[in-house]
Structure 1
């Protein structure tokens, strides 16, 4: 029996049944009251405090933040092992670090959740505790981009329209977007964005990104190849312009950098000037103005890695890693010359070609088309590419990837001339067509009938059967580029090699292209004389 109860009973037994009973009962009541008060005071003195906690966010958390969320309960002055932690009324295990209980809430559904931490107390009293709520929001904002019709040039202003819901911040690249009350937005950019995306972030940090695809429709291309020297020759230039005046062509392919590494105009790219590659064979702004005034598009061809001019300059100026080498560390020689190929794996060589491409695009060339964007012919085992960290096929595709944005930002379409055999033998010259097609607006396979072996694609004599070999090989390129977004614009043959080529043979190739659904082509004649 508790001491206070014993005391009360003893007092009652000692009191006779007399007039003093009332007084004694009052005294007893007072004692009881004192005891109760003492208990109450004791309870107040032992009342629980609040356990300090850290790690709660200021607002809602997303799934990733929840996974990273760590709550720390400070149990100083108490046994941390005795701390009971619950989330939504269910026990949650924690780890002990000194006087701190470390808790990870773990996966939770969307909505409000309650966290409690308590130190168990004694008789008629609880220990210190804390209770906090947190919210989980795993729903990302909704972004819808309105489809825009294809443009005809990367130089056109581009309007991005769409709607966004549930976002606190919306941007297009580095530009902020302020949606209307209904979530609609519209933003006009001076030219087509490259690799841009609309990014929406909500209060919980959930992110939605939607790419902005500025599709450019490449106009029909009926072009002829023109060298720098041919353009500077009055007769040859006029013969090409006559093709345009009579409606037989709508595009001119004019060389920027040729197979000798010579740049046809006075380029201001530092390496072009230092190496002596820049010339004044023709005036690029004047040529572009004349062609554009006639309503013609101009494709600028850059022979990328076959570049004797820079290769020789680099080798003799101590930049030997700029040159493709043989296994002995000497320049890899081939039928192109003793020092002919620059090293596509070298960052400076890549930058040189990209700088030329961007410069030409800014001058007004409508397209930039790389040629010789490949490794040299011959056994790969006999070649070295100093500094290369990957295989040649991947390295070539990566170069085109690096080129795409600078060329597009400068306003031009990007194309790549490729070997016809790359459709079936990509490793032979490091041109993987599906890989390349992801990074260019079009691929231009060189399908010259004279370059195919007898029996290729089941065609007995390709050089004498121009329709058949173009029809078969071009179908392969269409298949390989499907789904990449790249178009196919074939190079066709207008020169004689083993078989005499004239209007009939040229037309047969054009007809084969039309039969597979392609109404574009570029004719190649080394003499710049065409049969159209």
Structure 2
């Protein structure tokens, strides 16, 4: 104890003997040394790096990296040893690096100290860039048992953190397989796989429903009210010669011939209500007969006249001078505007109502522009080609009809098979949005020489077999079916059972066992038809 006290006393004596200036200098050096050691001991925690998660990032996310430090002036950012530019962004330095390739990378942030002779603080982080979307495999199409029936979606995925089928998440198994049931699929089902970096793989699966087939005849609304016409057709069904009856919903006069509740149909005075739809459907379905609703779309003089006279000329196809397009023998106001949203909605509402009532199919007719030179027409509001507008109308309809349990078809001119712009019926575009196409290949409607047939009207087998072969080729690679309209009427040449049977055989020669017969008077040559089988 005495020695320690003696040492302390000597130290105090030495300090007392030292000049005050020396004491100040020594003290300052000690403070500086301690400050230097403190600054040198600063760790990476003094630099904050934002926007750099633990998982891989997409290339675009490199630009989301931000550096925060006490003083961002003079901050240097290096990626893989190469300095990259930064910009000030609300007190932080935002990285401005483009073209950073996939793979692992080193991010180094160098923050200078002040004064400069104290050196700098260096912070290092590793990150991975990933621009490759997950590997996703599904079928191109789905085939449920019928409209509005559930469908199973299966597939495999690799490197995904999330998978969605029709907007709902599913969990893949350890091998990447997944499955989901979509209860009421729309026309298309989308599958999306997303990885940790946010890369997405998307697949759109088209829902195709195989039509059960039909051997059909057509009846107008008024024909159904005629005992003789109705009963003759019902007898054909009882004998198994036909299995389907097509009934008008809205005909070419613009009349809505069933007891529709569509508001606009009542507003324009179109509803005639010749038959009670539910009663007729119940009767025919009890007989095992399918029922197709024929819906004449854009040839609609009732809607056309009501629109024009009611101050809505935009709902009518016009001449270049702004007058209603008369389209030859069709008359004024005959063709409504297929690109007008009110006209489109009116027809879709009727189609949707028919499907909800229980019609098995809705088959559009006059789903086209009027014939004539397109450059002489004014179609208000048309922003695309007429062909695309018609196809989009069918797309909208199919979603609503399918969801209510019915299938959708489109009747088309025979010439549409190789002249898609003539009346805006492009078979390839239409085939995407309908379940079947019904070409009107009536022999009397072909010009001499078509398909190498000199007089088509007198050679029904030849013209039908060749024209349907062209339609079959036009839809190759799709799931759409061809169900042709065949001629059971005389126009220039007398037609009887032999001519009708020849057309049916021509369809069969193309693998088409389904057909619809058209007779304007609704009287059919049943002798041309044998029992199904």
- 2:151 counterpart residue number: 158
1:229-308 correspondence runs (5 A) = 229-308=222-301
Shift of 1:268: 1.0
Distance change in 2, residues 1:148/1:46 (3 Å): closer
TM-score for the superposition, normalised by structure 1: 0.85
Distance change in 2, residues 1:116/1:147 (3 Å): closer
Q: Is the 8 A contact 2:52 2:65 kept in 1?
A: no
Structure 2, unaligned stretches of length 5 or more?
Answer: 1-13, 15-22, 529-533
Counterpart secondary structure, 1:196: strand
Larger deviation, residues 295-304 vs 40-49: 40-49
Counterpart secondary structure, 2:229: helix
Q: 2: CA distance between counterparts of 1:310 and 1:481?
A: 33
Distance change in 2, residues 1:504/1:58 (3 Å): same
Write the deviation string for residues 338-395 of structure 1: whole angstroms up to 9, x where unpaired: 2211111110000000111111111111111111011112222332112222232222
Larger deviation, residues 494-503 vs 152-161: 152-161
Answering whether residue 82 of structure 2 is matched by residue 87 of structure 1, we say no
Q: 1: CA distance between counterparts of 2:394 and 2:334?
A: 21
Of 335, 357, 378, the match for 2:351? 357
- 1:11 counterpart residue number: none
Larger deviation, residues 328-337 vs 159-168: 159-168
Q: 2: CA distance between counterparts of 1:338 and 1:79?
A: 77
CA RMSD of aligned residues (A): 3.1
Shift of 1:399: 1.4
Larger deviation, residues 195-204 vs 97-106: 97-106
Of 299, 319, 323, the match for 1:330? 323
Of 376, 401, 419, the match for 1:407? 401
Shift of 1:295: 2.0
Count how many residue pairs are aligned between Structure 1 and Structure 2: 502
Shift of 1:467: 1.0
Answering whether residue 469 of structure 2 is matched by residue 475 of structure 1, we say yes
Q: 1: CA distance between counterparts of 2:77 and 2:67?
A: 9
- 1:217 counterpart residue number: 210
Q: 1: CA distance between counterparts of 2:90 and 2:252?
A: 73
1:149-188 correspondence runs (5 A) = 150-179=143-172, 184-188=177-181
Distance change in 2, residues 1:46/1:160 (3 Å): closer
Q: Is the 8 A contact 1:85 1:117 kept in 2?
A: yes
- 1:486 counterpart residue number: 480
Shift of 1:36: 9.5
Counterpart secondary structure, 1:170: strand
Q: Is the 8 A contact 1:327 1:383 kept in 2?
A: yes
- 1:13 counterpart residue number: none
Write the deviation string for residues 221-242 of structure 1: whole angstroms up to 9, x where unpaired: 2111111111222221121122
Q: Is the 8 A contact 1:197 1:212 kept in 2?
A: yes
Of 411, 418, 421, the match for 1:424? 418
Q: Is the 8 A contact 2:139 2:205 kept in 1?
A: no
1:363-378 correspondence runs (5 A) = 363-378=357-372
Q: 1: CA distance between counterparts of 2:370 and 2:139?
A: 45
- 2:20 counterpart residue number: none
Q: Is the 8 A contact 1:66 1:107 kept in 2?
A: no
Write the deviation string for residues 386-424 of structure 1: whole angstroms up to 9, x where unpaired: 222223222212211222211211221111111111123
Shift of 1:185: 4.5
Counterpart secondary structure, 1:58: coil
**If each structure's strand is expressed as a fraction of its own residues, which one has the higher value?**
2
Write the deviation string for residues 444-479 of structure 1: whole angstroms up to 9, x where unpaired: 111111011111111100000111111221121112
- 2:127 counterpart residue number: 134
Structure 1, unaligned stretches of length 5 or more?
Answer: 1-22, 24-30
- 1:311 counterpart residue number: 304
Q: Is the 8 A contact 2:87 2:96 kept in 1?
A: no
Q: Is the 8 A contact 1:76 1:99 kept in 2?
A: no
Distance change in 2, residues 1:147/1:327 (3 Å): closer
Q: Is the 8 A contact 2:166 2:182 kept in 1?
A: no
Answering whether residue 108 of structure 2 is matched by residue 116 of structure 1, we say yes
Distance change in 2, residues 1:148/1:501 (3 Å): same
TM-score for the superposition, normalised by structure 2: 0.85
Answering whether residue 504 of structure 2 is matched by residue 510 of structure 1, we say yes
Q: 2: CA distance between counterparts of 1:109 and 1:149?
A: 38
Distance change in 2, residues 1:151/1:251 (3 Å): farther
Q: 2: CA distance between counterparts of 1:414 and 1:181?
A: 41
Q: Is the 8 A contact 2:245 2:292 kept in 1?
A: yes
Counterpart secondary structure, 1:444: strand
Counterpart secondary structure, 2:352: helix
Answering whether residue 72 of structure 2 is matched by residue 72 of structure 1, we say no
- 2:441 counterpart residue number: 447
